[in-house]
A and B are shown apart, each in its own frame.
Chain A
Amino acid sequence: MAKGIGIDRRTLLWMYETMVTIRRFEEQCKREADAGKLSGMHSSVGQEAVPTGICAHLRTDDYVLGNHRSHHHCIAKGVDINEMMAELLGKVTGTNRGKGGTMHIADIGKGMLGANGVVGSNIPVTTGAALSAKLKGEDTVSVVFFGDGASGQGALHESMNLAGIWKLGVIFVCENNRYAEATPFEYSVAGGSIAARAAGYGFPGVRADGQDVLEMYEVAGEAVRRARAGEGPTLIEAQTYRYLGHFGADNPLLYRSEEEEARYRAKDCIAGLSAHILEEGVAGEAELSAIDERALAAVTAASRFADESAFPEDRELFADVYNDYASGRFTRHAESGA
């Protein structure tokens, strides 16, 4: 059966709208950054298909954990983009009340258990979320997204071992975007395949085209089925590409060529799905344009919401360090402004 055949119209259009929303959101973030309103931003443009194809299978009570480049994970998991943009601008209406910012967006009510700025750090935490589900007898799935750069971290290997021996419902998703900051994949990953490493831990490792959301959807479907059925973890290595630099001010042409960039942009995930939808007659041009406009309007509204929101009050500095923060000499210093 050809790829994408058998996926219902609602799912296809949800995936299209999700990917377009991510891209418009990231473009807006760049404008906000250029205006000096946010910093430290790692753009996910180019990688939209990876979390979209996976989250299409997830329920609200399934968990997603991300990394430093995680806006696309959050949007695909259903986090409110108004609250996300407010968070990026450090506003009290943000997902994290302005305490986290771009690298730490979390919304546990939506199953987004947090992005994480330390490479590889969230992988053991995801294993723990899956262990929770097992101990509680639930069939929820826990998904962690990380990059090729994290594949060399011990935390991944320790977690794959634990998930393997305990048959946990974890999906390890490596977004192999070819570069760990400025270091190429070919240099840093021994053996040349991240997916192949799963075999050492006794569970499937699958390499998929991360620029093709239909392929991602298909691969994820089997991984989610395994996890829910208690058959254990899956490692997915999604071959993808970040169109922009590692972070806002990074010029990727310092370490990769324009030809290479053009080659990946030619396989753009949004263009690919759009072509499929039109060719298969799932929807027409007008319907897709309407979705494009709706996504742009939502992102524009998110930007306005963030702008109009207030910054946290000074007392928020001390809120939520502990559940019961006893005042001491260091809080007194700040309270008195001394």
Chain B
Amino acid sequence: MKWFVVRESETDERYGKCPEDRGLNELLRFGVVNLDKPPGPTSHEVVAWVKNLLGLSKAGHGGTLEPCNGAG
């Protein structure tokens, strides 16, 4: 998509950080894994597994992938 510059503006390097410069701990707090769901477990079970593996307090999936639905 095309961008329009509305006003020239500079960013103060003292605050914030480019997403590419984030460390592992920052990614674990605000990241996403493009996971290949294996056959067998439900989407919910897969998320619980990832949550435990990474030692997180919260995790969630973006749309179920289940045999009974076959869509999300």
Partners in one complex: no
